[in-house]
Amino acid sequence: MVKKKIGVASLAIVMAAGTLLAQTADRYAFPFSRSQLRNGLQVILAQDEALPVVSVAVAYRVGSIHEPPGKSGLAYLMEHMMFSGSADVPPQQHFNNINRVGGNLNARASEDMSIFYQTVPSNQLALILWMESDRMRYLEINEDSLEQTRKELLDVMRQRKSADPYQENQFSFDQLLYMDFPYSHSLLGSEDDLRNLTLDDVKNFYATYYVPNNAVLCISGNFNKARVKELIARYFETIPRGKDPGFVPEPFKYTKKQVIKTEENPLALAPAFYMGFRLSLFAPNDLYSLTILDYILMRGRSSRMMRRLLNPDNKIAYQLDAGIERRRNRFAYKIFVVANNPFWINQCQSAVFSELDKLKSAYPSEAELSKAKNMFRRNYLDRIATTQDKAAFLCEEYFALPNLDELPLELEKYMKVTNTDVVTVVHRYFTIDNSLILNVRTK
């Protein structure tokens, strides 16, 4: 209760872009400031002086949904190409430079974002800004680096296919769920497309999307504000603005009709099913309620579905994964179940529907709601546990929220969800008409 009041109080000092958002009273918030360079690059700074460590994340608003038909896999390929050297940083040297000083780095691409992040001792901040800016401005894209990366990715594709016997079914299910090419194809792309990508395809994709006006730079950790501004001006202000990527998602509306399909999979070890519920968010707060519902249903070993399907005394499922999936402006709730025994697949499906039905007829208790919220809070804290986590979190939220200045208020919105809200969204979205099921049979 006290926390809620503090959260609201922090609203009063949320100010416009470029100013400090100070919410020291709210222990879940941390201060950050936001500004924009003349070339359009968004800059977010989050100071944390606990340890002499600094993290830098650069995120571009580009992912698999930006790939045109026939060119799938470009975003994933670019994630790897970004380490193949730039005008002043030889191939692989980005990695070596960070490793030499005890730092670490990573990168990931998704449907609508590609992010590159690294952490180093704070006295090496300039090194990272130099390298990140160099690849934003002058990435070396040539036949050799393209061929090398293509070879690596084809190998990754083969490895994933052998590691996950249900992968092809997942791709089919995504096509059923999202329907159109930009949203439904896999991040890895198709093998044919990857083989046919040309040097010009890659260069054009890089020139269109890996530009300052399509990116956000976040620096989190121990730094001197004046010095960091000098370094940003030196390394990033000088990069010319790119053309506006001009990507506008097609208008889209989910259909309202149940879809059931069955596929045979010779690689599958046991029968399985994918189940999806389309989430055309009617009310702005539905996403918060759906998230808490997800924790009640699926998160943790004491959640309803886990206890029902993976109970050690009556384990009817071998594997159970579920959660809300967001692909830019489209949302879905996806469930994947592999039966523990070929004869129990129907039991697994009935158990899922039965747990959903229970939530339609009885409110979750206050204790269950509180547990779900505390698990959410814990995961929220895990997302901001280190300077690197914070940098990545701020970049993600910059793209996810309509206005990053609303970030300090976000957690409170999840905490305000009531058990009525939870039951309302179950009734609203978890209906037969709104569902899709892909049954996977073994051969």
Partner 1 sequence: MKKSHILLGLILSAVALNAAGQERYRRVPPPPEPHQELKLPVIETKPLTNGLRVSVVFRDDLPMMSLQLIIPGGESASPDRSPGTASCVAHLITRSTQLRSASDIEELLESIGGSLSVTTLEDFTIFTFLFLDDYLDQALNLLGQMILKPDFSEKALKSVKSILSLDYLDREKDPEFVAYRHMIRLLFKNHPYEKMGFTRDAVKNWNQKDLLEFFDRYYRPDNAHLILMGRIQMDTATRKASGVLNTWQPGEFSPKPLPPIIPPQKEKICFIDVPMAKDCAIYLGSVFPSTDADIDPPSLSVVSQILGGTVNSRLFMNLRESKAYAYFAFSEVAFNKASGLFCVRARVAPEFIYPSAQEILKETRRIAREPISISEIDQAKSYLLGNFPIAIERLSALAEKMSEIMAYDRENDYWNKYYQQILLVSPEKVFEAAQKCFLQPPLVVIAGDKSLLVDRLNEFESIEVYDIKGIHQYTTNKEKQ
Residue ranges in contact with partner 1 by CB under 8 A: 27-28, 48, 50-53, 87-88, 95-97, 99-104, 119-127, 130-131, 133-134, 222, 227, 234-235, 238, 300-302, 307, 312, 367, 370-371, 374-375, 377-378, 381, 384-388
Residue 372: CB minimum distance to partner 1, A: 9
DSSP line for 126-170: HHHHHHHHHHHHHB---HHHHHHHHHHHHHHHHHHHHH-TTHHHH
CA 141 to chain CA centroid, Å, is 27
Distance CA 361, CA 357 (A): 7
Token pair for 347 = 């039991």
| C-alpha closest to that of 79 among 101, 68, 94, 97 | 94
Residue 5 tokens, joined: 């009041």
Q: Which is nearer to partner 1, 275 or 415 (CB)?
A: 415
Cβ-based neighbours of 435, under 8 Å, separated by 6 or more: 258, 259, 275, 276, 277
**Minimum separation from the CB atom of position 12 to partner 1 (A):** 22
> Given the complex with partner 1, which of 251 and 312 has the nearer CB atom?
312
Distance of closest approach, residue 224 Cβ to partner 1, in angstroms: 9
**23 vs 222 by CB, closer to partner 1:** 222
How far, in Å, are 273, 287, 311, 428, 429 from residue 283 at the CA level? 29, 8, 35, 11, 12
Residue whose CB is less far from partner 1, 98 or 279: 98
Q: Cα(136)–Cα(43) distance, rounded to whole angstroms?
A: 14
Distance (Å, rounded) from C-alpha 177 to C-alpha 326? 12
In the complex, minimum distance from the CB of residue 25 to partner 1, in angstroms, rounded to a whole number: 12
E-strand ranges in 193-242 read 215-221
Q: CB 390 → partner 1: shortest distance, Å?
A: 10
8 A C-beta contact, residue 223 and residue 99: no
Question: Min. distance of Cβ 430 from partner 1 in angstroms?
Answer: 23
- Please report how close the Cβ of residue 125 comes to partner 1 at its closest, in angstroms: 7
Shortest distance, CB of residue 89 to partner 1, whole angstroms?
A: 8
Residue with Cβ nearer partner 1 (55 or 289): 55
For 30-68, b/e burial (b = at least 16 CB within 10 A) is bebbbeebebebbbbbbbbeeeebbbbbbbbbbbbbbbe
8 A C-beta contact, residue 18 and residue 412: no
